[in-house]
Amino acid sequence: MEPEFWQEKWDAGQIGFHSDDVHTDLHDYVDAWLAGGPHQILVPLCGKSVDLAWLAAKGHEVIGIELAKKAVIALFNDAGLTPTWTDVPGAERAQAGNLTVYCGNLFDISPATIGPITRVWDRAAFIALHPSQRASYVARLRACLAPKGKLLMNVLNYDPAVMDGPPWAVDGSIVAQHYPEAIQLGTRDALDDRWKSRGHERVEAVTWQADVKSDA
């Protein structure tokens, strides 16, 4: 999607994707995924997710990327932190302690700026991007990831005939196309009244892990 699409969503307060709670599937898989830390964790397209401060409080270095400045300001505010803002190529960087968010377009920020990353938490990022952006997005994540880096990704899968994204329906064949090394960790029924009102009869939240080689 174009940046304007998301800026308008934030400006209009249409952020139904946001949750005030740490993501339920992150809770379930975090211990195994973060074994051997501390880690440098990238959260692409992070919105104002509370997952970042939660992961940072566990002692990891957490790096978010988000287009909307309103979201970045709210993220630090909600965490009770006052960030220092610095201009970097392609973005503004907000930093407080071990929590950093690059405010800008992910496609304009060099992987060298983001630095080596050992873990990626993709929640509502891959599924938010237009299918035509996926290959470029995954290439950027791979370029950021150090050898033995691990991706944890939560996607939604539903009948794509019911609606177009975002969020886009992502089934196992799409995941395998972009992350051939991915394994499915679990599936959860995510059909709620909001989805039903859009005409859906089946919505699943599926969590994947990929042990990503940086040179793949």
Ligand X SMILES: C[S@@+](CC[C@H](N)C(=O)[O-])C[C@H]1O[C@@H](n2cnc3c(N)ncnc32)[C@H](O)[C@@H]1O
Among 47, 31, 209, CA closest to 125:
47
The nearest distance, CB 13 to ligand X, in angstroms, is: 12
Among 175, 164, 158, CA closest to 210:
175
User: From CA 13, how far away is CA 198, in angstroms rounded?
Assistant: 20
The nearest distance, CB 125 to ligand X, in angstroms, is: 6
Q: Which residues bind ligand X (CB under 6 A)?
A: 6, 17-18, 45-47, 49, 65-68, 71, 105-107, 123-125, 128
Nearer to ligand X among residue 85 and residue 107 (C-beta): 107
Which residue is nearest to ligand X, using beta carbons?
47
Nearer to ligand X among residue 25 and residue 66 (C-beta): 66
Tokens of 188: 């959860």
145-158 vs 99-103, strand pairing mode = unpaired
Nearer to ligand X among residue 23 and residue 39 (C-beta): 23
Q: 65: helix, coil or strand?
A: strand
Question: Hey, how many other C-beta atoms are within 10 angstroms of the C-beta on 27?
Answer: 12
User: From CA 199, how far away is CA 205, in angstroms rounded?
Assistant: 17
The nearest distance, CB 19 to ligand X, in angstroms, is: 7
The nearest distance, CB 185 to ligand X, in angstroms, is: 18
